[in-house]
A and B are shown apart, each in its own frame.
Chain A
């Protein structure tokens, strides 16, 4: 079967400004693709191009195997949820949801049936006769989803749909969207700048920066094997520790030397990776640095480090120290004995370590 969405060599310019450069993405039926990146990276423009709301400058795009480049939005068999919800202010919730069907001249009986189904799915039955102005943010969000769901399209598009909600509601709606995706098995493209939303929702993530795709992969691939320094830094909270280091090959082993300001450098040994340049940036997730006293499976190496700051976060405690001239965060157990200003014995797990070339920022291993 043809991919549900396929984009090849897509370019988008505004005048002489290149917004999107050589975009290549494909997703299969049932995929949940998340486009993530900082503001101005082109992710919303890409979504608008998929919707047909923005013309593309060059390239190919197909939805369900059919060429879409010159097809207007209404004929693309898509539904879209917008950041501002974009509910029609003068129409009731019911009319908002059925507007698309009314425009397409669908039999009123079927409209009614679909409206009932969707309002039951989203539990918005009691709101059907209200105007958008009388709804709370979360309710508007549901109505906007309802308007998309009722269409039963080939492809759902979401443009930062949760960014106007407060933190608690955002997490609730995130779970609901995920549940919806699992229930419907629908194909979705979702834009967000929130890497946690990306990680939790996606079956496939596209990380973008400056109109260029940095990496495409499953959440686990993106998280564990970031393709470059940008992805490593952007995905994950707290961010991956990126520490300048020197490497030496010592027989079968790779020795990594991390300089410290007031004491001996830390020497770590990696048996898995070899043939690295002398200067590298080593990427270690905070959870791969732990209290040495806590038993850990796998190969860990211990070192004493002076902790500068201790940040209890409830479930975990973050300890910040200086290594290689950078702030390095360790995710420690909630009941850790670490105290600011004192040395703590920490265990480094290099099982998932990443190496990056300092100049180009590209992944080395």
Chain B
């Protein structure tokens, strides 16, 4: 690499440079504050009592920290007629998201492996159609999917929601894995074939162990999508199988009388925590996976 050095003519230019740099930092800082403000308000409000919210300032810190709102949101807040908080719905979301993420990732990995490494006639068309699936607006498929779930006897059930999320995640998971596997030299597959390994053996023993970085990316993506989904959750669930996003909506919208902002905020944070958690945990693995996986021959 060539080292380009800028010769500054006099101290005037240097001062300008420093001033510009500081201006940049201040701008960036202001933007960061601006984006963080809602989160700040959410967190502080969730620790305030309702009285304090009524009398106090929106952006002031809580005078007295209380966990009441969190307790209420977790186990007592009412969603319509039931008053169990978000807890049961939170577990619904867990039971939907974990299998749906794992299944869609595994199938996506296998699809990507086939499309990238076992070229068959029409593989490109197949992949193009798969991609097309990524861009179909979900609203379009609501009615056909409802009908299909009904025929399958899965309407309003958690397996039904898992099924829906797996189907609509496949486009993206296939895309991720296909693009990753396409960069792996096909001589690797050839060598394994000569060694006597078959389709699944090559996938399990050679491709999957190579895939940690892309698995993590896919899991982050799928988990965020599925956990945060509202449309499918509200359309294909019934009382008792609703995911946490739907429960959150019900808590916020079905209260009568005084709005319990602190409970709403706490419930919203609870609903958002798992995705944050996945980012923090898996993001770390992601960086490690990138540096340790060295695919290059």
Contacts and interface: CB of A to CB of B under 8 A. Distances in A.
Interface size range of chain B in the complex:
20 to 34
Nearest to A90: B209
B210 interface: yes
B54 interface: no
B13 interface: no
A133 B296 contact: yes
Interface string A59-89: 0000000000000111000111011111111
Contacts of A179: none
A167 interface: no
B7 to A, nearest CB: 40
Given A100-B196, A104-B196, A89 B191 contact: no
Interface in A116-156: 132-133, 140, 147
Interface residues of A, number: 27
Contact of A103 (B187, B197, B209, B296): B197
B64 interface: no
Interface string B185-221: 1011011111111100100011001100000000000
A86 B295 contact: no
A127 to B, nearest CB: 15
B194 A73 contact: yes
Nearest to B185: A84
Contacts of A78: 194
B3 interface: no
A87 B287 CA distance: 24
Contacts of A85: 297
Nearest to B196: A74
A85 B196 CA distance: 17
B294 A88 contact: no
A107 B182 CA distance: 35
A205 to B, nearest CB: 24
Contacts of B201: 103
A256 interface: no
Interface in B55-80: none
Interface string B265-297: 000000000000000000000000000011111
A51 B189 CA distance: 13
Nearest to B292: A133
Provide the main secondary structure of the chain B interface: helix
A86 B210 contact: no
A99 interface: yes
A86 B193 CA distance: 12
A84 B206 contact: no
Given A83-B187, A133-B296, A140-B297, A88 B206 contact: yes
Contacts of B193: 53, 72-74
Contacts of A53: 190, 193-194
Interface in A43-60: 48, 51, 53
Contacts of B185: 84, 86
Nearest to B206: A88
Interface string B161-198: 00000000000000000000000010110111111111
A73 B297 CA distance: 23
A96 B17 CA distance: 56
Contacts of A100: 194-196
Nearest to B211: A90
A99 B192 CA distance: 8
B184 to A, nearest CB: 9
A268 to B, nearest CB: 51
A99 B209 contact: no
B205 A74 contact: no
A5 to B, nearest CB: 15
A264 to B, nearest CB: 57
Nearest to A137: B297
Contact of B294 (A51, A73, A80, A133): A133
B209 A80 contact: no
B194 A74 contact: yes
Interface in B199-257: 201, 205-206, 209-210
Contact of B195 (A74, A84, A140): A74
B297 A84 contact: yes
A5 B194 CA distance: 17
Nearest to A74: B196
B190 A84 contact: no
B141 to A, nearest CB: 37
A133 B295 CA distance: 8
Contact of B297 (A48, A90, A104, A132): A132
A133 B187 CA distance: 16
Contacts of A87: 191, 297
Contact of B190 (A79, A82, A133, A140): A82
Nearest to B195: A100
Contacts of B210: 89-90
Interface string A161-182: 0000000000000000000000
11 contacts: A74-B193, A74-B195, A74-B196, A83-B187, A84-B185, A86-B185, A86-B190, A89-B295, A99-B195, A100-B196, A133-B294
CB-CB nearest 5 A-B residue pairs? A100-B195, A74-B196, A86-B191, A90-B209, A86-B187
